[in-house]
Amino acid sequence: MSKPWQNENWHVSHWNYLDEVTKGFKPPKSVKIHDITLRDGEQQAGIIFTKDDKIRIAEKLAEMGVHRIEAGMPAVSPRDEEAIREIIKRNLGPEIFCFARCMERDVRLAADVGAKGIVMEIPASQHLVEQGYQWTMEKAIDLSIKATSIAKEMGLYTVFFTIDATRSDMDWLLALVDRVAKEGHMDAFTLVDTFGVLSPHAASYFARKVIERVSKPVEVHFHSDFGMGVANTVNAVMEGAQVIHTTVLGIGERAGNTPMEETALALLTMYGIDVGIDFSKMNEVAKLVRELSGMPVPPSRPFIGDGAYNIESGIVTGWFKNVFEAHPTTVFPVHPNFVGHDTPQILLGKKSGLENVFLWADKIGVELSEQEAMDVLTEIKLLSHDLKRVLNVDEFRELIDKVKTKSATAKSS
């Protein structure tokens, strides 16, 4: 019998696949990744990607197998336009999209650079339209109809993108979508949570209401201001959304966009939905974006953090020693090799146990008696506490020498 929750690469809860849990799910036949690292990811304060940076990241995303790359907004600057043109020229494999305002100039420029498609933004909440843009609501509608009609003339796959949709009136939003679809043009509609203010349950509601009303493919673009980006995106997919907008590392405006890493792995392991990327490239891509963006990544960040697979605890070190070679996913829910992560490291620190000491001693070729190991462990805990960090190999050797010298002195006296 197939066990989608457990294989050589992962082991998650079988509860995820119980009929009682999955009833009501309506996932699409396939899910595509629309990567927005080069556009919305760069909007995180302090990040600047050069033309060369954008090309390098696009090449790595293509190697990993993402379906679409939103290469940027050509109207932003001549350098951005040059980068987009070069990415398209290289014919990397993924479809290349541009982002644009609902303005004729933006649309024509996207067509001129050779983009396959265009994501067209328009404010959708009354407060943002009237306060932020100082427009009338009718102006927003008219701009949307005109710009999307031009996009159709230009032969662009048009994704309609309503800013701040989740703080707008649902009836108004659906009426806007209806009018743009009928009077303008729309190949797909994006569920947009610009300020990350949806709960997971409301994300399901949002997707369900739009899918009931809109006879077009639905895409998902959620932010993580409350840390809900992954859960909200997954919930929208389980209602039928077909394309997910994500960034590498989860970088993006304010608290960031939905991270590609956790979202793709959650869909794969917990819902049985393979987005079709090469997961072994995940850390390679993450390290490149980390380097070029200059953004620090917490060591505990799932799957891509430097310390995501490291162990200090004595109890868990015992598990690792006993099971990792034969049953690695007993101690790690996703095998580090599957996501291209470094080999797990056993650390020495305040929380360590005898297993840590013996593993380190064996690694440096030193034999310790049970009592010596206990004495060394005591010293490790004290020093690690005082230094407020784990220890390095030189400090470990010094502690061994200290314990052995003390032991030899005691025997001679």
Domain over 28-293 is classified CATH 3.30.2000.20: no
Q: What is the pLDDT of residues 97-138, one digit of tens each?
A: 999 988 889 999 999 999 999 999 887 667 766 666 676 667
Whether the CB-CB separation of 116 and 91 falls below 8 Å is answered with no
| pLDDT given at position 176 | 86
Ranges of each domain in the chain: 28-293, 314-412
pLDDT in tens, the chain (413 residues): 479 999 999 999 999 999 999 999 999 999 999 999 999 999 999 999 999 999 999 999 999 999 999 999 998 889 999 999 999 999 999 999 999 988 889 999 999 999 999 999 887 667 766 666 676 667 777 888 899 999 999 999 999 999 899 998 898 889 888 888 899 999 999 999 999 999 999 999 999 999 999 999 999 999 999 999 999 999 999 999 999 999 999 999 999 999 999 999 999 999 999 999 999 999 999 999 999 999 999 999 999 999 999 999 999 999 999 999 999 999 999 999 999 999 999 999 999 999 999 999 999 999 999 999 999 999 999 999 999 999 999 999 999 999 988 877 877 76
Phi, psi of 339 (to 5 degrees): -105, 10
Whether the CB-CB separation of 350 and 381 falls below 8 Å is answered with yes
Token reading at 63: 């190697």
| pLDDT given at position 2 | 75
Q: Give Dmax (Cα) for the chain.
A: 97
- pTM, entire model: 0.93
Using only C-alpha atoms, the chain has a radius of gyration, in whole angstroms, of: 26
Neighbours of 8 (CB within 10 A): 11
| pLDDT given at position 37 | 98
Within 8 A by CB and 6+ apart from 407, the residues are 371, 372, 375
Whether the CB-CB separation of 60 and 284 falls below 8 Å is answered with yes
Token reading at 276: 């079709």
Give the span between the Cα atoms of 16 and 269, in whole angstroms.
9
Q: Across-strand partners of 191?
A: 220
Sort strands 188-193 and 157-163 into parallel, antiparallel or unpaired.
parallel
Token reading at 50: 């050069």
